[in-house]
Amino acid sequence: MADARTAAPAVDVQELIDQLPGFIFRLRHDGAPLQFNFASASCLAVCGLRADDLLASAQHFLALIDPQDVAAFQTSLQASTAAGLWNWEGRLQTPHGMKWVNVRARTHAADAGTMESTGVMLNVTQTHLRESQLRNLSTDLRQIASHLESVREAERARMARDLHDDLGQVLTALQMDVALLRKQFGANQTPELFANIDKLIHAAAEAGRRVAAELRPSVLDLGLKAGLRWMAGQYAKRYAIRVHTELSYQGEVGELIATELFRIAQEGLTNVVRHARARQAWVRCMDAEGGLICISVEDDGIGYAPQAQPASRPSLGLRGMRERAAVFGGDFQLDQSAQGGVRVRVCLPIAEAAQSE
């Protein structure tokens, strides 16, 4: 009776290895000069070297390693003797141009004083090119976003000036007309009417100043420290909360980065008065390592529980601060304050912000 099973064809292991996209190798090291004692035919496609050249001398391969990656190659190979695994990624200057390669191998003792690594080397150049393109795209997007932010702030400043000047002129003219009417008809005949008109003019002037200040406080023209102290005073007066300022940074801060730090502090204090039920808040601005300037807002309120936030209603204030940090390649942190409430901290690189300006 014939066997129903189909006999599997014989597999030529060497042919299978040679057809793999990666370069399969066996390398001896540790206590002896590097020596390839096996190299698949794919080494030509990966390294630009023939297998015979590699087997004759490992120096042919070592000469291809980019000088900036030699130390990492040696360190990772040596570390594999203890770990049993060799992972390395670096650049080869091949006859066909620079290539990124990735090595994954197992390392074991071959004999006394000699270790052997068996693994595969893959050409990952395209992956690095894509990552580089994504990084460049991310940088371009940040630059565009920072430019748009600067344009928006410039437009806010223009609108604030126009509102202050135009509304101020209109209200001044209205006050003069009311004074003439008061003189013509006599204020004693209709005192309540003129009193109400005066109140409305005063309220309109206050509203205009408030809106103009929210668009762009003119106090920022005196510098970031003056702007932050003014804002602390405004929140303290308006919301009956003590706001302390600790401004220890040194040097000058550009207009754009100063505006961003001011806006971040503004968002932070707004969150405090809306959600924290705090009695005190602290605004701190200081230098940090790596050319950063950091601003933090913390309070002594009830704290913050992310899980308590409905998924459909994320905190726009926190999102705004996080996005402002991301635009300038900065860092956003949200944690518990030493005062018992919440601390929001944003660090921005001054150099990148100055470049954006």
Give the C-alpha separation, 107 to 115, whole Å: 7
Taking the C-alpha atoms of residue 284 and residue 225, their distance in angstroms, rounded to an integer, is: 10
Q: What is the pLDDT of residues 271-328, one digit of tens each?
A: 899 888 899 999 999 998 888 999 999 999 887 765 444 444 446 678 878 888 888 8
d(CA 240, CA 280): 9
CATH level 3 topology of 220-357: Heat Shock Protein 90 (3.30.565)
Mean pLDDT within 189-218: 77
pLDDT digits (tens, 9 = 90+) for 253-271: 888 888 889 989 988 999 8
Calpha distance 345→284 (Å, rounded): 9
Q: Do residues 205 and 165 lie in contact, with contact meaning Cβ atoms separated by under 8 Å?
A: no
* pLDDT at 200 exceeding the cut of 70: yes
**pLDDT value at residue 123:** 92
CA distance 226 to 59: 65
How many residues appear in the chain?
Answer: 357
Assigned token pair, 264 = 């971040």
pLDDT at 12 over 70: no
Report the C-alpha gap between 137 and 131 in whole angstroms.
10
Residue range 201-211: mean pLDDT, rounded = 80
Instruction: State residue 299's pLDDT score.
Output: 93
Domain 19-123, CATH number (from 3.40.710.10, 2.30.40.10, 3.40.50.300, 3.30.450.20) = 3.30.450.20
**pLDDT, mean of residues 57-82:** 92
Q: Record the pTM.
A: 0.53
Q: Where are the domains of the chain?
A: 19-123, 143-216, 220-357
